[in-house]
Amino acid sequence: MAQSLAWKIGGDQGEGIDSTGDVVGTVASRLGYYIYGYKHFSSRIKGGHTHYTVRLSAQPVLAPEPEVHVLVALTQETIDRNVAGLVAGGPVIADAAFKPQLPDGANAQLIEIPLTQIARAIGAPVVRNMVTVGASAALLGLPLEAFAKYVEEKFGRKGAVTVAQNVQALEQGYRFVAEHPDVKTRYALPEATPGKRYLMTGNDTLALGALGAGCRLMAAYPITPATDIMETLAGLFPKYGGAICQMEDELAAVTMVIGAGYAGARAMTATSGPGFSLMQEGIGLASVAEIPAVIVDTQRVGPSTGMPTKTEQSDLMSAVFGGHGEGERIVLTPGTAVQAFEDGYEAFNLAERYQCPVIILSDLGLAQWVQTVENLPYERLTIDRGQIVGAEETAALEAEFLRYRVTEDGISPRTLPGTPKGQYLATGVEHAQTGKVSEDPQNRAAQTEKRRRKLEPLREREGVVLADGVEGAEVAVVCFGSTIGAVDEAVADLRGRGLKVGRVQLRQAWPLPAEQLGRALGDARKVLFVEQNQTGELRGLARLQGLEDERFASLLKYDGTLLLPQEIVEQILTLVLKEEV
């Protein structure tokens, strides 16, 4: 009996790897298991090795499994590349058609199944992968009936013949393993309780959050791994109202969003590192003109094209300081699908309340890998449009309306275009309180200080420094983004060994809540910053804000692969042992 199992299928891109993984993940989810599904794929449409891992667990999981329990290989390359990550003696399901072989010294059991031959005998070569699903169900101890039911739902519209062929493929794969006397390794998970759960990505939930916030325009240029947000909203806007505009480039996208925000619409764009670089001038315009705009940066490996299909967290400094001059912005850092939903709607409230660009800094690991979502907090969804002055208020004014009035809290009331006696002049040139161009030194200083002053309260915003078990901890782990899954699992592991380990997740990178973070770290003996970049950007940002001492250390991973819980465990054990010595 295992609490968690990992199933992996690999082959060439274009062979239905993703759809096969989706079947296993969806059915296991319906049976009540928690799922975390993650992929390796090349930066091309077809060809090249790819694999999809589905982690099944009796408990919530948001990180990769260290070893694979069942490997399904549709090519010899899949075996060669992945067998080393298999548990000792684990089964490898392989198509007999390519004459599979285990590498010398491999500790695995090869199960040759005539997948192609079975599929052809059924009369539908495309059901080859469904044979592997049936065989996998037998190895994982999952009921065949659940897969057959899903197949009926999935392929029902294609007709009875298609359904029958897929069910037959499932049955033959299942029977081959269940009745095969030489299969040594079989698994079982604790019985689970089915519930109202969904398999979603951070891109999915972020799009839903934006929709709930009243976003009705998305202007974007397609780019991995952000495009799914645009595609999700394209499917939702016809029902709820709204428009998708695929622009000629990212600069056009961000300026359209700025124009919509200036006019009073809630609008957003989404991109990744290369496109985010192109948006920097537009972000500066939104900042100085004090126009709300929501921008999603789903980080991937850079610089330049980098590795478009691999994850990294190396845009943090770019998100906080990118562009010329000192343009104020808010940077949010969700780590789970639920948090992406929360930031997906709260970003619009913050953008309008503080009249500035809000950047949601996601990453590929959060954006594209599926996880179990039990509940999205729709009940918390509120709309805050900030200080918009209406026609009745402007009509009562005796003096000129000052759009950029210098106020004590730094927030200037705004009017929307068309409001009588309002002021709608917005320019990227420095301006006076009236909105008209001004190069007066005193005015320049006053406007710059006003824009900075309005964001200062965000340093103490509630819910942006999430601490657990830090007081008196031997080690406190600090993280942001999708690494929270691996961090939480590592912390639970170490606590189970009797170590006092805490963790702190940062949900807002700018304005950095440095004092909150310092208070959260308290008297922890060691502090470990966990990041997926080479230079320790979060730790560096904390240092710039005056938060650094001899307790601090870093765990940095920047090879494009997901952070593993055991990597954090090993680093923390090293820290503790060093301190004891």
CA atoms within 13 A on the CB side of 161: 3
User: pLDDT (tens digit, 9 = 90+) per residue, 97-118?
Assistant: 999 999 999 999 999 999 999 9
The domain ranges of the chain are: 4-178, 199-380, 460-580
CA–CA distances in Å: residue 269 to residues 125, 131, 228: 41, 41, 12
Under 8 Å between Cβ of 11 and 18: no
| Helix locations, 179-299, DSSP H | 202-212, 227-240, 250-263, 273-278, 280-288
Q: In 3-state terms, what secondary structure has residue 386?
A: coil
What gap in Å lies between CA 447 and CA 441, rounded to an integer? Answer: 10
* Predicted TM-score of the model (pTM): 0.96
CA–CA distances in Å: residue 525 to residues 340, 364, 487, 549, 575: 32, 32, 18, 11, 10
* Pairing of the two strands 465-468 and 526-531: unpaired
The torsion of the CA quartet 117, 121, 127, 131, rounded to 10 degrees, works out to -60
Which residue, among 23, 58, 4, 19, has the nearest Cα to 136 in the 3D structure?
Answer: 23
- φ/ψ of 111, rounded to 5, equals -115, 100
Confidence of residue 569 (pLDDT cuts 50, 70, 90): very high
What gap in Å lies between CA 16 and CA 70, rounded to an integer? Answer: 18
| Helix locations, 65-159, DSSP H | 76-82, 115-122, 128-140, 144-155
The residues with which 96 forms a beta bridge, in sequence order, are none
Cis, peptide link before residue 511, omega less than 30° from 0 = yes
Q: How many residues can be counted in the chain?
A: 581
* pLDDT score at 579: 62
Under 8 Å between Cβ of 507 and 350: no
What gap in Å lies between CA 253 and CA 295, rounded to an integer? Answer: 10
Q: In 3-state terms, what secondary structure has residue 109?
A: strand
Q: What percent of the chain has pLDDT over 70?
A: 99
Residue 181 has pLDDT above 70, yes or no: yes
User: pLDDT (tens digit, 9 = 90+) per residue, 433-446?
Assistant: 999 999 999 999 99
Residue 580 has pLDDT above 60, yes or no: no
Question: Which H or E element spans position 219?
Answer: strand 217-220
- 4-178 falls under which CATH superfamily? Pyruvate-ferredoxin oxidoreductase, PFOR, domain III (3.40.920.10)
User: pLDDT (tens digit, 9 = 90+) per residue, 274-333?
Assistant: 999 999 999 999 999 999 999 999 999 999 999 999 999 999 999 999 999 999 999 999
What gap in Å lies between CA 26 and CA 427, rounded to an integer? Answer: 50
What gap in Å lies between CA 525 and CA 545, rounded to an integer? Answer: 21
What gap in Å lies between CA 363 and CA 477, rounded to an integer? Answer: 19
Confidence of residue 482 (pLDDT cuts 50, 70, 90): very high
CA–CA distances in Å: residue 21 to residues 37, 79, 133, 482: 8, 17, 9, 21
Angle (CA) 449-454-460 rounded to 5° is 125
Architecture per CATH, domain 199-380, reads as: 3-Layer(aba) Sandwich (3.40)
Q: Which fold has domain 460-580?
A: Rossmann fold (3.40.50)
What gap in Å lies between CA 442 and CA 420, rounded to an integer? Answer: 30
Cis, peptide link before residue 303, omega less than 30° from 0 = yes
Q: Which two tokens stand for residue 304?
A: 């330049």
User: pLDDT (tens digit, 9 = 90+) per residue, 28-84?
Assistant: 999 999 999 999 987 776 778 999 999 999 999 999 999 999 999 999 999 999 999
Exposed (0-12), middle (13-18) or buried (19+): which is 472, by Cβ within 10 Å? exposed
Q: In 3-state terms, what secondary structure has residue 450?
A: helix
Which residue, among 200, 237, 201, has the nearest Cα to 218 in the 3D structure?
Answer: 237
Which residue, among 114, 173, 181, has the nearest Cα to 144 in the 3D structure?
Answer: 173
What 8-state DSSP symbol labels residue 563? P
Residues 197-212, mean pLDDT to the nearest whole number: 97
Residues 411-440, mean pLDDT to the nearest whole number: 94
Question: In 413-433, which positions are buried (b, 16+ CB within 10 angstroms) versus exposed (e)?
Answer: bbbbeebeebbeebeeebbbb
Under 8 Å between Cβ of 218 and 245: yes
Confidence of residue 425 (pLDDT cuts 50, 70, 90): confident
What gap in Å lies between CA 154 and CA 163, rounded to an integer? Answer: 8
- φ/ψ of 190, rounded to 5, equals -60, 150
Under 8 Å between Cβ of 10 and 74: yes
What gap in Å lies between CA 191 and CA 185, rounded to an integer? Answer: 19
User: pLDDT (tens digit, 9 = 90+) per residue, 535-544?
Assistant: 999 999 999 9
Residue 578 has pLDDT above 80, yes or no: no
Residues 216-243, mean pLDDT to the nearest whole number: 97
Confidence of residue 581 (pLDDT cuts 50, 70, 90): very low
Candidate from 15-29, 184-198, 241-255, 545-559 with smallest mean pLDDT:
184-198
What 8-state DSSP symbol labels residue 213? T
Under 8 Å between Cβ of 415 and 388: yes
User: pLDDT (tens digit, 9 = 90+) per residue, 77-87?
Assistant: 999 999 999 99
Q: Which two tokens stand for residue 273?
A: 């590192």
Residues 6 or more apart whose CB falls under 8 angstroms from that of 343 comprise 206, 209, 332, 334, 360, 507
| Helix locations, 326-464, DSSP H | 337-354, 364-368, 391-395, 441-453
What gap in Å lies between CA 553 and CA 568, rounded to an integer? Answer: 12
Residue 173 has pLDDT above 60, yes or no: yes
Same fold, 4-178 and 199-380: no
